[in-house]
Amino acid sequence: MSGEAASSFTTESLDDVEDYILENEGQGSVQWDTFSHVLDFMQNGNEAFRANRFEEAINCYSRANNIKPGDHVIIGNRSAAYIRISHYLKHRPPSTSEYRPLNGLDPTTHAELALKDAEKLNNLQSNSVKSYTLKANALILLEKYEIARDVILSGLQIDPFR
């Protein structure tokens, strides 16, 4: 897979994140006040993601995950945000770095964190094409193209039309 093809694959399926809704909750699994905090963090995270403020989105998703660990929507959205910020940093022109140096994590670290979340999501929902897409995107950013190809093929076994 060429770098150019990998680059277009990376952002193609990550244009938006999943909204967090009441249906994500099982009967009585979470108190209403806890759910409202998670919902607030998720809405703020999604708003930040859609405005390309990925660090802020990651922070919101992480805070939601602290309250409700292991939720597939939270983990999937955070993985997508890690992927998007990694992609942005990796493809940022060198001249930008001269005037605005990186203060946070580098693109590789973000991609590794995205991969961790994608693997968690895959363990939670192995029948979800999204988990395979996120994992493949993270692997592409880490330049592990052969493994990414295998992950994509595994995802196609679940739903060949996606």
**pLDDT at residue 31, as a whole number:** 78
CB-based contact 10:83 (threshold 8 Å):
yes
Q: Name the band, by pLDDT with cuts 50, 70 and 90, for residue 161.
A: confident
Q: What is the mean pLDDT of the chain?
A: 85
Structure tokens at 82: 């890690």
Please report, as a single letter, which amino acid is at residue 87: H
Angular region, 106: left φ>0, alpha ψ -120 to 50, beta rest: beta
Region 43-58: mean pLDDT is: 96
Other Cβ atoms less than 10 A from the Cβ of 28: the count is 6
* Residue boundaries of the structural domains of the chain: 3-158
Sign of the dihedral defined by the CA atoms of residues 74, 79, 84, 88, in that order: positive
Q: What is the pLDDT of residue 101?
A: 62
Say whether pTM exceeds 0.85: no
CA atoms within 13 A on the CB side of 78: 27
> What is the rounded CA–CA span in Å between residue 49 and residue 32?
25
How would residue 95 be classed by pLDDT, with cut points 50, 70 and 90? confident
For 3-158, CATH gives 1.25.40.10
The predicted model gives 53-60 an average pLDDT of 96
